[in-house]
Chains A and B, each alone.
Chain A
């Protein structure tokens, strides 16, 4: 089927299968491989992207369901030269170890900060609790989100 997707403020015309997952379209058809597939069943959050500013598991969304929505992947958050405050604080505080959960973590954190720029520690943990991490113990991830919130507030 023919669809149009808006990803990272760019429009794409695509031919996709009706049952094709948004995750696969992003990675395989658009080459946006920053979005990772972990469990493929909506439990780990590695494939988190933003859909109209809300964090969603892109493995649980069909590409066709994303038509008409504003999508953002990690590639749209920032880059090496212009990192988002979250990306900066994750690197600076050592919140990245193997890195596989990181894109999803950043997007869940961004969704939180976009609606609540001064979250408490509990609110951060709550917002990140759908993103599993096996390396960091979340300790530095939570601190990185706090640091980014301070920077966004300034």
Chain B
């Protein structure tokens, strides 16, 4: 018989290296005389989209389009170190470094422009849609490229280098006190599953995932990160297990270490919660790892809701579920009261 159930999982996650480990990102920025800009940072985009986020941040500050920004990453000859692409840290930490660097280069540009436009303060200057000009006076503006080009002829360059260090202190080993991470990410997911009581096989039908990302700098990428994390979470919950025998992995192949295919991944509905993180770039914080955390609990809770057995070791394989169902029947009789049974 196939039985359905729903389960809830909630998670919070400290982002960044944490526990006092130096967590530093850096960036170089140059605004060019063709109206484009370059961002250089050691932060490597491994597909999560960090380079796109950096281009968006620089473009937003400079009144340009993301395609006007060249992002150079991961070149030890030219880019400043920004640590690893790990710990859910690039959008937040490297994003902050990029934002600081862009603002620094921009500040010099605005000071120069204020002088050129005979303004007393750079606060009256704006960068918008590839133009630089006096706020509220459309007659006093020029293409950004022209301004930078002229500045260049006078020996002015708009180049900057900045870094950003995450807030973290080691936890006191005696009393557990400290501030190991900042910021924290929060999420909640609901899973709907179908459990086959004959085979023990679980099919996850649907996941609704709500995640607080501070600010979604790129909503499409946020959805992509959540869906990817949910798929990994489903694998973690139901099928993935490294089998070790005397230190040797017995299943080092996709035929024996199963990961979800397109057929195993449920329908995923994402809810992006934007609760501004004031220390992040435009209020953003990381999402990569935390989005996987609630999936496990949601799936395992949904199995309990469906068939009344509590699986306490992962993955929740058909074997474990069938064994738990047999145990439950033996203890309480068929259709007996729902009880916690440790697998």
Contacts and interface: CB of A to CB of B under 8 A. Distances in A.
B253 A138 contact: no
A141 B260 CA distance: 14
Given A134-B228, A138-B265, A41 B253 contact: yes
Interface stretch (A16-24, A29-37, A125-133): A125-133
B231 interface: yes
Interface stretch (A7-15, A60-68, A74-82, A90-98): A90-98
B221 interface: yes
Interface string B216-236: 000011011011111110000
Given A132-B259, A134-B228, A137-B230, A94 B223 contact: yes
Contacts of B118: none
Given A94-B220, A125-B263, A129-B261, A138 B227 contact: yes
B268 interface: yes
A132 B265 CA distance: 11
B215 to A, nearest CB: 18
Given A94-B224, A98-B46, A134 B230 contact: no
A140 interface: yes
Interface residues of A, number: 28
A135 to B, nearest CB: 5
B181 to A, nearest CB: 24
Given A43-B254, A136-B228, A97 B262 contact: no
B255 interface: yes
A145 to B, nearest CB: 10
Given A39-B253, A43-B254, A94-B223, A138 B46 contact: no
B249 to A, nearest CB: 14
Contacts of B263: 125-126, 129
B49 interface: yes
Given A39-B253, A43-B253, A126-B263, A135 B228 contact: yes
B136 interface: no
A138 B262 contact: yes
B47 A98 contact: yes
A94 B226 CA distance: 13
Interface centre among A43, A44, A135, by most B CB within 10 Å? Answer: A135
B279 interface: no
B47 A99 contact: yes
Given A137-B232, A139-B268, 18 more contacts: A41-B255, A94-B224, A97-B48, A128-B261, A130-B261, A132-B259, A133-B231, A133-B262, A136-B227, A137-B228, A137-B229, A137-B231, A138-B262, A139-B227, A139-B231, A140-B220, A140-B223, A142-B262
30 contacts: A41-B254, A43-B255, A94-B223, A97-B48, A99-B47, A125-B263, A129-B263, A132-B254, A132-B261, A133-B262, A134-B232, A134-B259, A135-B48, A136-B224, A136-B227, A136-B228, A136-B231, A137-B224, A137-B230, A137-B232, A137-B265, A138-B227, A138-B231, A138-B260, A138-B261, A138-B265, A139-B223, A139-B231, A140-B224, A140-B227
List 5 tightest A-B contacts by C-beta distance, closest first.
A98-B47, A137-B227, A137-B231, A97-B47, A43-B254
